[in-house]
Amino acid sequence: MIEISNLFKQHGQQPLFNGLNLELEKGSVVAVIGPSGSGKSTLLRCINGLEYFQKGCISVDGQKLYGVNEQSYNKADEDCTVKKIRRRIGMVFQQFNLFPHMTVLNNITEAPVCVMGISRAEAEAVAISLLQKVHLEEKAQSYPAQLSGGEQQRVAIARALAMKPEAMLFDEPTSSLDPEMIEEVLLVVKDLVSEGMTTMIATHEMGFARDVSTHVIFLEKGNIVERGSPKKIFSNPKNKRTKMFLSRFMK
Amino acid sequence: MKHMNRKHFIIRTVSILQICFFMMYFFMTDTFAYQDTLEKIKSSGVLTWGFDADGGAPYVFHDPKHPSKLIGFEVDIVEAIARELGVKVQNFQNEWDSILLSLQRGDFDIALNGIEITSDREQSVLFTRPYFVYAEQIVVRDSDNRIHRLDDLHGKKVGTLYNTVAKRMLEEMGDVAVSTYSGQVEPFKDLSLNRIDAVLVDLPIAFYYAAPNPQLRMVGEPVGEGYYGIAVRKEETALAEELNIIIEKILRSGELKKIYERWGVWNTSQEKLFLHEGLLQKYTESPPSISEKVPLRVTTFLPTLLKGALVTVGISILSMMLAVVLGLILAIMRLYGNKWLQRVSTAYIEFYRGTPLLIQLYILYYGLPNIGITLSAFIAAILGLGMNYAAYESEIYRAGIQAIPKGQTEAALSLCMSGRLILRRIILPQAFRIAIPPMTNDFIALFKDSSLVSVIAMVELTKSYSMLAAASMNFFQLGIITALLYFGMSYPLSIYARRLERKLKSYD
Ligand SMILES: Nc1ncnc2c1ncn2[C@@H]1O[C@H](COP(=O)(O)OP(=O)(O)O)[C@@H](O)[C@H]1O
Ligand SMILES: [Mg+2]
């Protein structure tokens, strides 16, 4: 469903990706692991058009985003493609990024009503059912500031799901949470995965990655150092950097 | 500091009191050490003269060729008086509106500046015998044949000056739309610009400004004769006596007539100055044709103040609305526009923040007619204030918008929202909340700045106050009431803003 080919990306003069390739099939669950600064966020953000890149191509079901230095690059087309891709792919951020001036319900209904043009009543019905799914139906009228971190992240997931995406990108969804709240968020992600949602998740929760993913990639300094099934990566990593990294997490 | 040494405290209090007394003594010696001002003038060799050169020609004004030099027929009179006293003149520039008040405070020895002798002013100061017979003159556009005498002014728009007999005459006519100005040039400007139908001012002014202007014409006989006198403090009978002798002398010698002829203000009415004995009787018994009634009771001045307050509120609200909308457009141009829009917005903001509001108002009202745009005073006031404050509001918005974390935009983008939608639904509502406290401050500041629009012939609260106060010499009570009116209007606003802020905060 998502195909990244020959991706080159640099932040200013600082090169990050040097010809990165990655393919995600429909229904697959890819866990992106690696140390801080290895490029996990940048990779996810490139897919969703929040970052431009220099070379290469990202294709989502045939919708192609090109690097700005590619011949096929065209600003107008790119803007159009980005919109189509964002309609198919939802994203959840480390910092939740809920809209603080709106109630939980309005956070969820905002995009469906304003972007998809769904009626408010219908959007609210969908929002309520999504809130039930993340076990927060009683918080519909609360403001984000009145929720705990874990609750906010679950609302953020519901908000992304309200756009009926075909795939979800999670950028370290539990990294800003207190330990006791991590589980409730991961459970929601697990539910999603079990429904067959195509998922790409950057995470430091190795246990979760091992249990839930279908593929794991280990990123370091913008390079995919190792990739494979979770079983292979977690129980028998080939690369010594992967080994070192995992040994710090799995004790 | 809770247990401040008691003795220490007392010593400190005593020394502060001593310093206060010393300072009071120091300032008071200057004014009150001499029993008699005449004595002081003679022994110091200096006569201090209070006037307002802003009033304009031909009384006292800055020589256009040598702007540092004051000229005018009253300058000549004061010089003649000083010569007779054997002293030098020291000038004291003072707002005309408060000239008698400053005289009473002891800022200068005499006030001589087209001050009409009225029974009501005589209650607070002492006048010499008259040195000039004034009358009010109607001026119209040369092309206008509707107006021939005072009665023709009914139902017309007529310009005049603040706190003048002419203004009261017009007001007593009942149905004249009176525009009042603080400078002498502006009413004639507005007359040529068709903003008003006629001007009624003291004859010397009409003579000086209208006679040489081919577009304007004086019509009818002068009306409402009265007298200018020199004002001294009430107790200065010796000084007044001396001044009377000097006036008599320069009148008899023909020097006064020469001065008036030189300035083109001599007319046969001035002959009446010779009848001084009878005249002095006459004007104290029955004041000049127009009676000046002092508004001292609340019922008389409150309606005027309230009317002024209404104008202030109207101007403030309308110009703030303009500032809010225009400021938002400027901020968006600067943050999201292309290079050119950014430059336009930046230039606008820098210009309006870097120049005084007063100049901006003058340009709008008196400058634009030169390129064919003639705005009414009300529109010019709202545009002037609104466009000025828009520059400040735009910077407040910009700060507010930039304070919104990038994550908000990214989350909205990931939900497929368009840039415009994000701005309208996500960024601006949050920026607005940040902007509310500084915006309220600005609105209260604008509220007070609205008093500046009196320079373009708008009579709002501050101007109503200064007019009433100057007429009644009651600066204190009227001042308190006016201040209370301002406060009564701005305080609910602060409360409302605070409440709104709290409400908006509830979701933080
Ligand atoms: N906006 C940016 N400007 C400059 N450098 C950036 C920017 N965003 C990320 N980087 C750099 O890119 C590298 C990868 O960052 P990131 O994708 O956030 O890594 P991760 O999510 O794995 O911690 C880091 O070295 C980081 O400093
Ligand atoms: Mg990251």
- What pLDDT, in 10s, does the model give residues B7-51? 444 444 445 555 555 554 444 444 444 568 888 999 999 999 999
3 state DSSP class of B217: strand
Q: Which two tokens stand for residue B416?
A: 């497929």
Q: Which helix (H) or strand (E) holds B16?
A: helix B6-32
**How many residues are there in chain B?**
508
Rounded CA separation B153/A72 (Å): 79
pLDDT band at residue B68 under the 50/70/90 scheme: confident
Q: State the average pLDDT for chain B.
A: 83
Q: Do A144 and B433 touch (CB under 8 A)?
A: no
User: A76 CA to chain B: closest CA distance, Å?
Assistant: 14
User: B344 CA to chain A: closest CA distance, Å?
Assistant: 26
DSSP code of residue B377: H
Whether A236 contacts A75, CB under 8 Å: no
Going from the C-alpha of B425 to that of each of A50, A101, A111, A144, B430, the distances in angstroms are 19, 10, 10, 16, 9
Across A176-194, average pLDDT: 93
Residue B429: closest C-alpha in chain A: A101
Q: What is the pLDDT of residue B278?
A: 45
Rounded CA separation B435/B392 (Å): 11
| HEC profile of B467-497 | HHHHHHCCHHHHHHHHHHHHHHHHHHHHHHH
pLDDT band at residue B298 under the 50/70/90 scheme: low
Across A207-227, average pLDDT: 92
Whether A184 contacts A155, CB under 8 Å: no
Contact residues, chain A, for B410 at CB < 8 Å: 50, 93, 97
pLDDT band at residue B507 under the 50/70/90 scheme: low
- Identify the CA nearest to A185 among candidates A148, A211, A213: A148
Q: pLDDT tens digits, residue range B236-290?
A: 999 999 999 999 899 888 899 999 988 888 887 788 787 755 444 444 444 433 3
Q: What is the pLDDT of residue B374?
A: 78
Q: Higher confidence at residue B144 or residue B367?
A: B144
Query: Looking at the predicted structure, is the pLDDT value of residue B291 above 60?
Result: no
Q: What is the pLDDT of residue B289?
A: 36
Whether B332 contacts B419, CB under 8 Å: no
Percent of chain B with pLDDT over 70: 86
Nearest-CB residue to B410 (from A97, A144, A146):
A97
Query: What sign has the CA pseudo-torsion B38, B44, B47, B52?
Result: negative
Query: Looking at the predicted structure, is the pLDDT value of residue B219 above 80?
Result: yes
Going from the C-alpha of A133 to that of each of A192, B212, B260, the distances in angstroms are 10, 88, 97
DSSP code of residue A162: T
HSE-up of residue B214 (Cα within 13 Å, Cβ side): 0
User: B340 CA to chain A: closest CA distance, Å?
Assistant: 21
A31-60 exposure pattern, b = at least 16 Cβ within 10 A, e = fewer: bbbbeeebbbbbbbbbbbbbeebbbbbbbb
Q: State the average pLDDT for chain A.
A: 92
**Pocket-forming residues, ligand 1, beta carbon under 6 Å:** A 11-12, 14, 16, 34, 36-42
Q: Do A93 and B508 touch (CB under 8 A)?
A: no
Residue A77 CA to ligand 1 centre (angstroms): 26
Query: Looking at the predicted structure, is the pLDDT value of residue A207 above 50?
Result: yes
Q: What is the pLDDT of residue B297?
A: 65
Q: Which two tokens stand for residue A219?
A: 């990123």
Which residue do the tokens 């099939």 mark? A25
Whether B232 contacts B37, CB under 8 Å: yes
User: ipTM of this complex > 0.85?
Assistant: yes
Q: Do B415 and A87 touch (CB under 8 A)?
A: no
Ligand 1, atom nearest to A43 Cα: 17
Whether B126 contacts B231, CB under 8 Å: yes
DSSP code of residue B363: I
Pocket test of ligand 1: the residue of A13, A14, A20, A93 to mutate, having most ligand atoms within 8 Å of its CB, is A14
Rounded CA separation A116/B224 (Å): 77
Rounded CA separation A127/A135 (Å): 12
Q: pLDDT tens digits, residue range B460-491?
A: 888 888 777 766 667 788 889 999 999 998 88
Across A124-150, average pLDDT: 94
Across A28-33, average pLDDT: 95
Query: Looking at the predicted structure, is the pLDDT value of residue A247 above 90?
Result: no
Q: What is the pLDDT of residue B373?
A: 80
In chain A the first and final C-alpha atoms are separated, in Å, by 35
Collect residues with CB below 5 Å from ion ligand 2. Answer: A 41
Q: Do B415 and A145 touch (CB under 8 A)?
A: no
User: B505 CA to chain A: closest CA distance, Å?
Assistant: 9
Across B183-208, average pLDDT: 88
Q: What is the pLDDT of residue B31?
A: 45
Pocket test of ligand 1: the residue of A10, A11, A176 to mutate, having most ligand atoms within 8 Å of its CB, is A11
Pairing of strands A55-60, A63-66: antiparallel
Q: What is the pLDDT of residue B209?
A: 83
Q: pLDDT tens digits, residue range B369-415?
A: 778 887 888 899 999 999 999 999 999 999 999 999 999 999 999 99
Which residue do the tokens 């008599």 mark? B248
Torsion of CA A116, A121, A126, A129, to 10 degrees: 170
| pTM assigned to the model | 0.70
Q: What is the pLDDT of residue A83?
A: 93
Q: What is the pLDDT of residue B506?
A: 60
Residue A173 CA to ligand 1 centre (angstroms): 17
Q: Do A90 and B407 touch (CB under 8 A)?
A: no
